[in-house]
Amino acid sequence: MSSNNDIDALIEMMAKLPGLGPRSARRAVLHMIRKRALLLAPLSEVMATVAATARECLNCGNVGTSDICDICESETRANGQLCVVEDVADLWALERSGIFKGRYHVLGGTLSALESVGPDELRIPKLLARIDNEAISEVILALNATVDGMTTAHYIADQLDGRVTVTSLAQGVPVGGELDYLDDGTISAALTARKPM
């Protein structure tokens, strides 16, 4: 393509990233080569650092640079609340909101009969162990509102039945959302869960 092996190899690797295809990988690589001193060299260094140090927290599954992540290490986050999410990206999204002050548990996916993912493929045994170890009083199920997400939430709620309070995220109209653009399921959920003003 570029008549140069290293540049072609870089394009090919960039094209494997989610959200990038061959065309956008070529654009990104050309952009990086133009800004090679300011962008390509520092990017390469920070990638090498992350490649060498990144690992999954042995306790919760969050991504960090130590065996136990900062959130699990922090005593101030041990408030008895444990928020269960499917993926590290969901954990980051909740952290950005800044509203949750407890700890997390990353399942690493959802139960799925089609893809034969059972409880042991996820971090569900570890979740059950943490309930006692960390004196958890409330488990907040923050799974995606998909069929697999809901199935997994119900499975976990069954497993925890009676041991701790189990809650889930409220369903309803998104902040800033317009009714006209919402699907029927969301409107019906918001109407069912209506509350006094």
153: its two tokens: 């939430």
- Give the shortest CB-127-to-a second copy separation in angstroms: 20
- Stretches 30-38, 120-128, 129-137, 140-148: which one binds a second copy (CB under 8 A)? 30-38
* Shorter beta-carbon distance to a second copy: residue 79 or 159: 79
Write down the H helix ranges in the chain: 5-14, 22-34, 41-53, 70-73, 88-97, 124-133, 147-160, 184-192
Query: Is 98 a residue that touches a second copy (CB under 8 A)?
Result: no
Task: Out of 13, 129, 145, 193, point to the residue binding a second copy (CB under 8 A).
Answer: 13
The tokens describing 55, both together, are 């690992």
| Residue closer to a second copy, measured from CB, 16 or 194 | 16
Distance in angstroms (rounded) separating the CA atoms of residues 150 and 111: 9
Contact 40, 26 (CB under 8 A): no
Please report the sign of the dihedral spanned by the C-alpha atoms of residue 33, residue 35, residue 39, residue 41: positive
Question: Does 71 contact a second copy by CB under 8 A?
Answer: yes
Q: Residue from 67, 80, 92, 145 that binds a second copy (CB under 8 A)?
A: 92
Query: Between 96 and 194, whose beta carbon lies closer to a second copy?
Result: 96
Distance CA 68, CA 54 (A): 11
Judged by CB under 8 A, the residue of 88, 106, 127, 160 near a second copy is 88
Does residue 89 belong to the site contacting a second copy (CB under 8 A)?
yes
Our measurement of the distance from residue 90's CA atom to the centroid of its chain's CA atoms, rounded to an integer in Å, reads 3
Residues that bind a second copy (CB under 8 A): 1-4, 6-7, 9-10, 13-14, 16-20, 24, 26-33, 36-37, 39-54, 62-65, 69-71, 87-89, 92, 95-96
